[in-house]
Amino acid sequence: MDEIVGLVGRDELVADLAAEIRKGKHVILTGPVGIGKSAVLKAALEQVSGKVELLIRLHDHQAKGQFVDMARQMLALGLIGPAELDLPAEFHGTPPAAIDWKAIRNRVNRMSMRDLTQAIIPALARSDSKSVIAVDDLTSLTPTQMAFWLAIFDHAQVIGCASEKKARVRKLWWKMKEIPVRPLPPDVIRDIVRKYIKAKGILIESPELYISHVVKQSGGVPQAIHDMLDESGKERIIDKRKVREMRHEAGVQYLDFTPMVMILGALIVSMRYVGMGTGDKTLYILGGMGAALFLTLRFFIFKGVGR
């Protein structure tokens, strides 16, 4: 799929990120899950590969896993020594390339976040070359983990991705330039779908209907486009019925009718009480009719939400 879809429509975004990396700035890519932040990050890093002396790429989405992987890569690069990772004496004189990670992984995994950080930060500080640390996910950080990352910021350039900017770690975001990753525009999505149809040779009864449906249901989210096209590729032929049945959560717009329903219900109840209090039978009857109509329509209102 990637070789067909690629990074269509992201050239300018990739170039902007690559420029910020060359300037040595900390950068955070923001956008919902599936919007393509990691793909943009990977493409930008490939553009600056000749300019970055030491690159550490972290794919783990858990904070502890990120620090363990950071230690692993720094050990392989010779930035950190076996003694700093509390490895047995037998490894202390072993060249980094000769150390089998499988043999030491469990021991490093047992280290606490604090111990890992106390080993990593001094190693980054004494390095002659400034490292670039690229992180696929900086969303779910605790305030303590944020403090660790802030210490790393002083000795390495950090490029990260986050699906949500949480207020409790705002001090981290203050140090990073935000580059939002937007949904793809409809014309770009149409180009991607046409390219995929041609490459795969899919038989579609109404291609334009199919393309329009993918545009609507995907919401411009690359992962949603990927999912829908991949599912379609399993069909021998796609007729209009199958097109109409195609759905994706990314493209479903949910409308919250709760406030409107509560206000309407309160008005109807108020009409009845005002009618009773003032002796206005007409108002009382209208309130009763409104209540009956409200209860009948409420079912259909909520049934239609999300369609």
List, in order, residues 6 or more apart from 215 with CB less than 8 Å away.
186, 189, 190, 193
Model pLDDT for residues 270-281, shown as the tens digit of each residue? 777 777 778 777
Model pLDDT for residues 31-40, shown as the tens digit of each residue? 998 899 999 9
From the list 72, 22, 20, 28, the residue with the least C-alpha distance to 48 is 22
| Local confidence band at 259 (pLDDT 50, 70, 90 cut-offs) | low
CB-neighbour burial class of residue 242 (10 A; exposed 0-12, middle 13-18, buried 19+): middle
Q: What is the mean pLDDT of residues 124-152?
A: 90
pLDDT at residue 307 greater than cutoff 50: no
Q: What is the mean pLDDT of residues 256-268?
A: 68
pLDDT at residue 303 greater than cutoff 60: no
Q: What is the mean pLDDT of residues 65-87?
A: 92
Beta bridge partners of 131: 54, 156
Model pLDDT for residues 9-25, shown as the tens digit of each residue? 899 999 999 999 999 99
**Structure tokens belonging to residue 50:** 């000749």
Model pLDDT for residues 141-172, shown as the tens digit of each residue? 888 888 899 999 999 999 999 998 888 888 88
List, in order, residues 6 or more apart from 249 with CB less than 8 Å away.
224
Using the structure block, give the residue that is written with the tokens 């900086």.
138
Model pLDDT for residues 168-214, shown as the tens digit of each residue? 888 888 999 999 999 999 999 999 999 888 888 888 888 899 999 99
Cβ contact 33:164 at 8 Å: no
| Local confidence band at 264 (pLDDT 50, 70, 90 cut-offs) | confident
pLDDT of res. 135 = 95
pLDDT of res. 255 = 44
Model pLDDT for residues 232-256, shown as the tens digit of each residue? 888 878 888 888 888 877 665 444 4
pLDDT of res. 298 = 62
Q: How far apart are CA 71 and CA 59, in angstroms?
A: 13
Q: How far apart are CA 200 and CA 233, in angstroms?
A: 7
Q: What is the mean pLDDT of residues 48-77?
A: 91
List, in order, residues 6 or more apart from 290 with CB less than 8 Å away.
267, 268, 271
Single pTM value for the model: 0.76
Cα–Cα distances in angstroms (integers) from residue 204 to residues 29, 137, 190, 193, in the given order = 37, 38, 15, 12
pLDDT of res. 93 = 85
58 half-sphere exposure, CB direction, 13 A CA radius: 25
Q: What is the mean pLDDT of residues 294-301?
A: 64
More confident residue, 50 or 118: 118
Largest CA distance in the chain: 96
More confident residue, 295 or 61: 61
Q: How far apart are CA 294 and CA 265, in angstroms?
A: 7
3-state secondary structure 267-301: HHHHHHHHHHHHCCHHHHHHHHHHHHHHHHHHHHH
The CATH number of 2-180, from 3.40.50.300, 3.40.50.10240, 3.20.20.10, 3.20.20.140, is: 3.40.50.300
Q: How far apart are CA 92 and CA 85, in angstroms?
A: 10
Q: How far apart are CA 207 and CA 104, in angstroms?
A: 55
pLDDT of res. 305 = 42
Strand (E) positions, the chain?
27-30, 54-58, 131-135, 156-162, 177-180, 203-204, 237-238
Q: What is the mean pLDDT of residues 4-8?
A: 63
Choose the most confident range, by mean pLDDT, from 93-97, 108-112, 226-230. 108-112
Instruction: Report the SS3 class of residue 266.
Output: helix
